[in-house]
Structure 1
Amino acid sequence: MKTIKKNKKANRRKTILQLHKILGLITGVVLFIVSITGCLWVFKDEIESFYDDYKYVTPRHEDFITASNIKKIAEEIIPNKTIHGVIYGQSNEAIEVVFYEAEPEIFYHSVFLDPYSGDFIKRVNNNSGFFGFILKGHLRLWLPDAIGSRVVSYSVLMFLIIMISGLFLWWPRNKKNWRQRLKFDWNSKTRWKRKNFDLHTVTGFYVSSLGLLLAFTGCVMAFNWFYFIAYKVSGGDKAPQFIIPNSTQSYVIESEDEPAYNKLVPLLQQKYTNAVSYELHYPENDTTSILVEVSNSKGLYYNMDYLFFDQNTLQELETTSIYGKYKDAKFADKVIRMNYDIHIGAIGGIIGKIIAFLVSLLCASLPVSGVLLWYGRTYKKPKKTSQQGVLV
């Protein structure tokens, strides 16, 4: 009986090892690129802060220009493109008008204006530059989106399986091997194959929990079905998608020259005095409401307040979605809303970002050491055999 059980365990371990090896070889290059670009993306805001002087202005004791004037000015600078939103910062910050279109290809530009005079400051192509390059690599390997995004998404999903199978394979068979699996026990006689094995197994163990977290949050963003399951498993009972309610009033109480949303941001600035910024989204048509995203913490997204207003009366409207006021969010709502901040480590401040950077960097090392481990075992050098001289 004991022999049968040992054989079953050995066969199960062999099967899991094969699965771990095959998935690792298939996804190795992809996971290396995604991990390296991910650790570089973590400090995007901090790095860009060294050369973003155009985002700041001299504060004045004046009102900001109206939202309708901002729209007019921005559309003259970038005509025939869709304005996604207008971001109002503090009194010393420029207004950012974000243009975004997903089809036929992603168009993502920003126009920065003086908040008092409306003077043009700078136009920025968010798809270009170093971090634009990094993001394209992280999301789609610099391939066409239809191909690259799918390759990345399913590779990250397989990474979850790789990490779980790796933990099973790491688990020592007896107590004697625990120390060896938890630390680098090297000396001058340790061969490079042993060192590489330890780099793969010991490093893999220590980054496994946070590596799983990065992969899990990545899958939440990559797959709608994964996102929905994660929300429902957390106990969510609201609509997990973004829902913009329609305006309730069919009549217009403002003239076409002075739309109601001109009054909205000044009112919110008086009400949400501690807010970091406000992002106004113009109504898409005559029936949709006005969306304003109130950012309550710099560099964080999960605790934003999503507010909706009738475009004619400015009456505040409720939404059935998880994206409403943060104070009304339940546990499951908060978990999903925190997903991106967890993914880049921002949820833990600068310490969290450093941890995310290191974990992502170490995750990038695992495919490298794994391939070397596979190569060393697959293409072993034949052992040298001693040859005896032949007597003549």
Structure 2
Amino acid sequence: MRKFFLKIHLWLSIPFGIIIAIVCLTGAILVFETEILELCYPSRYFVKEVKNEPLPPASLISLAQQQLPYSMKINGIRIFSDPKRTYQLVLPGKKAAVFMNPYTGEITGIDDGQGFFMQMMRLHRWLLDEYKRDGGFSWGKTLVGVSTLILVIIIVSGVFVWFPRNKKVMKNRLKIKTKAGWFRFFYDLHVSGGFYAALLLLVLCLTGLTWSFDWYRNAFYTVFGVKATQTQVHTSPSSALTSKETYGKKAGSHEHSNAERKEKRQKKTDYTQWADVLTALQNRYANFNSITIQDGSATVSSLKYGNTRGSDRYSFNPATGEITEIQLYDDLPKSGKIRGWIYSVHAGSWGGIITRVLSCLVSLLGVIFAVTGYYFWLKKMMRKLK
């Protein structure tokens, strides 16, 4: 039985090892994306001088429009609780943003959302293949998914093959010898390091697969007793900040919603009421990470550990700034929370810096396992040739 699992471990690792190494390396890099960007571009993310009060959103957007090309559309603004942080103007496209000094209105940087880390994410998830928004077949996405599934089998077979048979072997198995030559060092790193990393690496694989296959995602949700249902908005007149009546309820007809969206597209966004919305939300939250305001909606991200994508969502009347609809994260059903939890566990952000460091180290070990595995295999082939 051990020989059978050894063959599975070997012959699955050889064809998929390169892809596994790429996915693990890019995953390790993406864990500290924010910190690396802040280190490389400090003036983009932090102001040199903190003044008394930041400018209101309408003034900042007006100043930005004077400095940016006319064709560049501003979708919203993101405000941080840290007074040293610059504000971000949200642009169309994933992660695209303009960074502004909130006290002077000066643009400190522009991220088009297509830089190094976006390419790392594309390599990590799709092997640089094009993302199919319509859900169509993607070779890159499929290869990453299959390789991740293969990695699960490789991890399980590796643990089975090298699991210690007694306490004495266990004691030696958990040591990495550094003074017995390079071959022994690489062997211990591959085997003993595999024992230390197996559980967390397996968790990263099992959560990552939810983005690759619909059938796996549905099964994953089912295991946790969750059905993929449409998120419901929880509203309560008593929980609104300033409004006594609701606006744009879900009970409205589909035609009415379409008419509202069409009217919004035709109207020019009025940013003057965003200051009232920002003040209302800042008064409500003693601690928050960021507040993002867009036309008729606002999102508050908290500083809590756990689901780092969990946030409270608000709707407001663009004409008056009144909060009209509230969707609190705590009130969401499990189906509305699990996707954020999957991301937080996969990225290692659920427990703060400690879990992120562990996720990064385990991902780097995944690269080392692939490289050392090829090293052992090539050494064996060279011996046979002799």
TM over 0.5: yes
SS of the aligned residue for 1:348 comes to: coil
Q: Which residue of 2 aligns with 1:7?
A: none
SS of the aligned residue for 2:96 comes to: strand
Q: 1:209 to 1:180 in 2, by over 3 A?
A: same
Task: Tell me the CA shift for residue 71 of structure 1.
Answer: 8.0
- Equivalences for 1:13-32 in 2 at 5 Å? 13-32=2-21
Q: Which residue of 1 aligns with 2:299?
A: 293
Matched to 1:219, the amino acid is L
Give the counterpart of 2:355 among 352, 356, 359: 352
Task: Tell me the CA shift for residue 240 of structure 1.
Answer: 6.6
Whole-angstrom distance in 1 between the partners of 2:57 and 2:143: 44
- Equivalences for 1:19-58 in 2 at 5 Å? 19-50=8-39, 51-57=41-47, 58=49
Contact kept in structure 1, 2:218 and 2:228, CA below 8 Å: no
Task: Tell me the CA shift for residue 277 of structure 1.
Answer: 1.2
SS of the aligned residue for 1:273 comes to: coil
Q: Is the aligned partner of 1:239 residue 2:242?
A: no
Q: Which residue of 2 aligns with 1:205?
A: 195
Task: Tell me the CA shift for residue 139 of structure 1.
Answer: 3.0
Give the counterpart of 1:229 among 203, 216, 219: 219
SS of the aligned residue for 2:123 comes to: helix
Contact kept in structure 2, 1:236 and 1:333, CA below 8 Å: no
SS of the aligned residue for 1:112 comes to: strand
- Equivalences for 1:1-392 in 2 at 5 Å? 10=1, 13-50=2-39, 51-57=41-47, 58-62=49-53, 64-66=55-57, 70=61, 73-74=64-65, 77=68, 80=71, 83=74, 85-90=76-81, 91-101=83-93, 108-115=95-102, 118-129=105-116, 131-145=117-131, 146-173=138-165, 177-184=169-176, 188=180, 192=183, 194-237=184-227, 239=229, 247-248=248-249, 258=270, 262=274, 263-282=276-295, 290-297=296-303, 302=308, 304-309=310-315, 311=317, 314-317=322-325, 324-329=327-332, 336-381=339-384
Contact kept in structure 1, 2:234 and 2:331, CA below 8 Å: no
Task: Provide the identity percentage.
Answer: 27
Q: 1:39 to 1:186 in 2, by over 3 A?
A: closer
Q: 1:240 to 1:205 in 2, by over 3 A?
A: farther
Count the aligned residue pairs.
351
Q: 1:80 to 1:243 in 2, by over 3 A?
A: farther
Contact kept in structure 1, 2:231 and 2:332, CA below 8 Å: no
Task: Tell me the CA shift for residue 155 of structure 1.
Answer: 1.4
Specify the structure having the higher radius of gyration (Cα): 1
Task: Tell me the CA shift for residue 278 of structure 1.
Answer: 0.6
Task: Tell me the CA shift for residue 123 of structure 1.
Answer: 1.7
Matched to 2:80, the amino acid is G
Contact kept in structure 1, 2:78 and 2:87, CA below 8 Å: yes
Matched to 1:109, the amino acid is A
Contact kept in structure 2, 1:217 and 1:343, CA below 8 Å: yes
Whole-angstrom distance in 2 between the partners of 1:108 and 1:332: 25
After alignment, is 205-214 or 265-274 more displaced? 265-274
TM-score (norm 2): 0.74
Whole-angstrom distance in 1 between the partners of 2:125 and 2:69: 26
Output the aligned Cα RMSD: 3.9
Contact kept in structure 2, 1:293 and 1:304, CA below 8 Å: no
Matched to 2:281, the amino acid is L
User: Which ranges in structure 2 are unaligned for 5 or more consecutive residues?
Assistant: 132-137, 236-246
Q: Deviations over 1:190-209 (max 9, x none)?
A: 783x5544332222111100
Whole-angstrom distance in 2 between the partners of 1:298 and 1:56: 22
After alignment, is 149-158 or 363-372 more displaced? 149-158
Q: 1:229 to 1:380 in 2, by over 3 A?
A: same
Whole-angstrom distance in 1 between the partners of 2:376 and 2:208: 27
Task: Tell me the CA shift for residue 24 of structure 1.
Answer: 1.0
Task: Tell me the CA shift for residue 270 of structure 1.
Answer: 1.9
